[in-house]
Structure 1
Amino acid sequence: MLQEPSQYAGFWIRTGACIIDSFILLIIMLFLLFWFYQGDWDLILDTGRSEQLSVLWFDVTINYILPFILTLLVWHIWSASPGKILLGLKIVDATTGDKIKPLQSLIRYLGYFPSSLVFGLGLIWVAFDQKKQGWHDKMANTVVIKSNE
């Protein structure tokens, strides 16, 4: 059981963790895109286009499948994303305080989509909720807490 509400992570620290995570993922994606497309960076940065043909399977893999797999993997291994780890946060089951299960990770990840749809209201909800849960947390029955580890 979770001990006290004061250990829930609030909106701003979670936003900071998200920014860190986005930066790390951006570096990984840029490295893979540079490796695969090899060149045209001046043209790509100036116009957003390349002389090389885009490869749909690779673009889908890098932009959608890779973030999905990496996110679920790090949540499963460390109960947190790299940004949350750096800021001393952890994702746990809201009822028991235990490590989240794979199904909870999947529901939580997919819950980001409806949470983001209406002006990000489901994400902003963290700032006003008693347990600091976003809609994705409520769907998966998870909370983000300040870790003692």
Structure 2
Amino acid sequence: MNFKDIATVAGKPGLYKILKPTRSGVILESLDEKKAKLVAGMSMRVSILSDISIYTMTEEGAEPLESLMKKIEAEYKGDTGVDASSSDAELRAFLKSVLPEFDQERVYVSDIKKLNAWYQIIRKSIPEVLEESNETEKEA
């Protein structure tokens, strides 16, 4: 599994594994212990994690979520030291430690909370996607 196989649904908490497409949407399975199935129709906003980026002040303008999560894993090994109840300053300091050039005006505290929550879900459910990919995966 990789970031192309993981999705988020607007208005629903958590992350979902993409099982298969249907004629009218896609079948998803939650990454939590419940493994609840969900048929996301065309009217639901489904975002694939590999398509999500964090705004930066660099020339590229954004950092892909996958590379950012791998940086978080390399730096923190699961213990980010922040959660949903952390202060705004603590959350911004956490993101600045792994992505110093993030755009502080366009990246909201709620985005950082979501980033941390998603990281924790991935680390618990499918930690192998946080490992640095080997050469054969890069070519695929």
Fold match by TM threshold 0.5: no
1 or 2 for the larger relative contact order (CA 8 Å, sep ≥6)?
Answer: 1
Q: Which has the higher helix share?
A: 1
Q: Which has the higher strand share?
A: 2
Q: TM-score, normalised by structure 2?
A: 0.31
